[in-house]
Copies of this chain bind each other. A is one copy, B any other.
Amino acid sequence: MSDKILIVGAGAIGGFYGGLLAKAGAKVSVVCRSDYNIVKQRGYRIDSCDLGQWQFEPEQVLQRAGDYRQDADYLILCTKVTDQIDRIGLIRDAVRPHTAIVFIQNGVEIEAQLQDAFPDNELVSGLAFVCCNRLQAGEIRHLAYGKLMLGNLPGGVSAKTRHLQQLFIRSGIECPINEDIIAGRWQKCVWNAPFNPLSVLSGGLPTLAILQQQEQLIRRIMQEVCDIAAGCGHPLTDDVIETNIQNTYAMPPYKTSMLLDFERGHPMETEAILGNAVRAAHRQGVACPRLETLYSLMKLRALQIQNQSQ
Chain A positions near chain B (C-beta within 8 angstroms): 198, 201-205, 209-210, 213-214, 217, 220, 289-290, 292-294, 296-297, 299-301, 303-305, 307-308
Q: Is the interface of A mostly helix, strand, loop or mixed?
A: helix
Please indicate the chain B residues that have their CB under 8 angstroms from the CB of A202 in the complex: 297, 300-301, 303-304
4 closest cross-chain pairs (CB), A and B = A202-B300, A289-B289, A203-B304, A217-B296
Tell me, in angstroms, the Cα distance from A104 to B204 when the chains sit together. 35
Tell me, in angstroms, the Cα distance from A271 to B304 when the chains sit together. 25
A-B contact pairs, 10 of them (CB 8 A): A198-B300, A202-B303, A203-B308, A205-B300, A209-B303, A213-B303, A214-B300, A217-B292, A289-B293, A290-B293
Q: Name the residue among A202, A299, A307, A308 with the largest chain B CB count within 10 angstroms.
A: A202
Tell me, in angstroms, the Cα distance from A293 to B288 when the chains sit together. 12
Tell me, in angstroms, the Cα distance from A293 to B197 when the chains sit together. 12
Please indicate the chain B residues that have their CB under 8 angstroms from the CB of A290 in the complex: 289-290, 292-293
Q: Is the CB of A299 within 8 A of B203?
A: no
Tell me, in angstroms, the Cα distance from A294 to B307 when the chains sit together. 23
Q: Is the CB of B205 within 8 A of A307?
A: yes
Tell me, in angstroms, the Cα distance from A210 to B297 when the chains sit together. 10
A19 CB to closest chain B CB (Å) equals 35
Tell me, in angstroms, the Cα distance from A117 to B96 when the chains sit together. 79
Please indicate the chain B residues that have their CB under 8 angstroms from the CB of A296 in the complex: 214, 217
A197 CB to closest chain B CB (Å) equals 9
A106 CB to closest chain B CB (Å) equals 22
Please indicate the chain B residues that have their CB under 8 angstroms from the CB of A209 in the complex: 303-304, 307
A214-B296, A296-B217 given; A201·B301 CB < 8 A: yes
Across the interface, A289 reaches (CB within 8 A) one of B198, B213, B220, B308, namely B220
Q: Is the CB of B300 within 8 A of A210?
A: yes
Tell me, in angstroms, the Cα distance from A217 to B292 when the chains sit together. 8
Q: Is the CB of B305 within 8 A of A203?
A: yes
Across the interface, A213 reaches (CB within 8 A) one of B201, B220, B300, namely B300
Q: Is the CB of B297 within 8 A of A198?
A: yes
Please indicate the chain B residues that have their CB under 8 angstroms from the CB of A213 in the complex: 299-300, 303
Q: Is the CB of B205 within 8 A of A297?
A: no
Tell me, in angstroms, the Cα distance from A77 to B306 when the chains sit together. 40
Tell me, in angstroms, the Cα distance from A289 to B289 when the chains sit together. 6
Q: Name the residue among A213, A220, A289, A303 with the largest chain B CB count within 10 angstroms.
A: A289
Q: Is the CB of A299 within 8 A of B220?
A: no
Closest chain B residue, CB of each to CB of A291: B293
